[in-house]
Chain A
Amino acid sequence: MWKKLNRLGLCLLLALGSGEIAPVQAAEKPEFYEQIYLSEAEALKLVMGDLNLKKTIFKPTAAQRKRLQQKMRRKLPESEIPIWVGFKQGKPARYAFILHEDGKHYPITFIVGLTPDGKVTQVAVMVYREKRGDGVKRARFLNQFPGKTRRDDVEVNADIIHITGSTISSWSMAAGVRKALILHEELGLK
């Protein structure tokens, strides 16, 4: 009994005496928990339907990168971005971007479909990599994006309402859709 009390007292003393400067590491990431909702083929089928697909890779030049970053108000980490073009009777009828945006701890992979005149047609979550916060895959959230263009803010608390419990993921998704719209504008896709 006394031994236990002594040990408890020692622990308390240690706790109270810990008011010293101590080096700390970056906060630990939670468990990687990959949830695949759509494969690349399924996502493209969902957004592009039966259009004839062609994949191109966009490698931004230094000047393009600078302009993109200024428009996005953040760094562009990717050195190349794949773009899918859906052709109908030889003409581009739809564009799709598969993007990876940092969620709370791990990236969220999702697809954004755009019309040639730069209007969002569809957004769908493909892969979510955390246990919590996957509320952004709900239609209630994703249905806010179709119809958005470069003229819209596409920003949480401006014209997008976040999902409770998935705040950071909602921000990431909104930022990702904005990125797709900016890429469409920058590349002059028609």
Chain B
Amino acid sequence: MKRRGFYQLHRWLGILSSLFVCLVALTAIALNRADLWRGWFLSGQSQQAFSVAQALQLAADPHDPQHLLAADLHALYQSHDGGQRWQELKLYVPAEKVTGIAFEPAQAGAIWVALRDAGLFFSDDGGEIWEEDFSLPFEPIKGEAIEALLVSQGPTLSLRTALGWYRKDAAGNWTQIPLVGNPQTVLSLHDWIWRLHTGRFAGLWGPLLYDVIALSLILLALTGLRLSWRPRRKKPDPSVNAAARSGHDALAR
């Protein structure tokens, strides 16, 4: 009875583990092959109405209090009537994951927008024509994502990333103030876990290798599940065997 209980426990834990393995493997593949499924969610994404309730970033124009900029996870929006109506403000790249919006206090129409994983963009005509600031002393796409943006008089531009606090003066020179408490160990851990999960830590071949391993794990899990549902083979009944043997002996005689 005890043994049977352990068997049942082992079986159900095995089933749950198999499902978990499938989940982990499938999410890793989904992260690595996002281009294969993102198309399903494209339609109408930019057509959605925006309201301040969705804003993750918000900034007011110091030269025009009615002019507001806001951003959600997917796009940048502007309002010229104090936030009553919003319309999408397009950059020439997808304005995804905006982590900072700032108006330059000394120059009307000058806007800075920081995209978490893409970089820093600037417009000096109120958002009609944009250009990227290629002078950044780090590469957001390589993992040092921009987390905050601040523009003050001078103009001085400051960016905070996971690893440091960068400041650009009016002459265009960057200085770095490392964050107190050596935060890179803690903060970059998240990126490392993500890289471990997707195989990105191993360069170009990592995701491909992970895909193969993930598919193998899914196959193992599914075949394991199939085996767990197969009915157990019954032990042969000794009384039936004995009867058959005696019948056989009688015939032989």
Residue ranges of A at the interface with B (Cβ–Cβ < 8 Å): 15-16, 18-27, 69-70, 72-75, 104, 132, 140-141, 153, 155-159, 161-165, 167-168, 171, 175, 178
Contacts and interface: CB of A to CB of B under 8 A. Distances in A.
Chain A CB within 10 A, most for which of B33, B94, B166: B94
B174 A23 contact: yes
B62 to A, nearest CB: 23
Contacts of A21: 167, 175-177
Contacts of B74: 157
Contacts of B134: 26
B175 A16 contact: no
B137 A164 contact: no
Given A19-B178, A24-B174, A73-B129, A158 B45 contact: yes
B92 A162 contact: no
B175 A168 contact: no
Interface of B: 32-35, 38-39, 42, 45-46, 74, 90-94, 96, 118, 128-131, 134-139, 141, 166-167, 173-178, 180, 182, 204, 207
B136 A26 contact: yes
The prevalent SS among residues of B at the interface is: loop
A69 B129 CA distance: 6
Given A21-B176, A161-B39, A164-B32, A132 B137 contact: no
Nearest to A172: B93
18 contacts: A21-B167, A21-B176, A23-B176, A24-B175, A27-B136, A27-B137, A69-B128, A73-B90, A73-B128, A75-B129, A155-B94, A157-B42, A159-B42, A161-B42, A162-B38, A164-B35, A164-B207, A165-B204
Closest 8 CB pairs of A and B: A24-B137, A74-B92, A73-B92, A24-B176, A157-B94, A164-B35, A171-B93, A161-B39
A17 B228 CA distance: 59
Nearest to B46: A158
The prevalent SS among residues of A at the interface is: loop
A16 B180 CA distance: 9
Nearest to B131: A75
A97 B136 CA distance: 31
Given A19-B180, A25-B137, A161-B42, A70 B129 contact: yes
A27 B175 CA distance: 13
B35 A162 contact: yes
Given A73-B129, A75-B131, A161 B38 contact: yes
B42 A74 contact: no
B141 A175 contact: no
Contact of B118 (A26, A165, A168, A178): A168
Contacts of A15: 182
Given A21-B175, A74-B92, A157 B38 contact: yes
B141 A168 contact: yes
Contacts of A168: 118, 141
Contacts of B34: 164
Given A24-B174, A73-B129, A16 B42 contact: no
Contacts of B93: 156, 171, 175
A74 B182 contact: no
Nearest to A155: B94
B114 to A, nearest CB: 15
Chain B CB within 10 A, most for which of A15, A74, A155, A159: A74
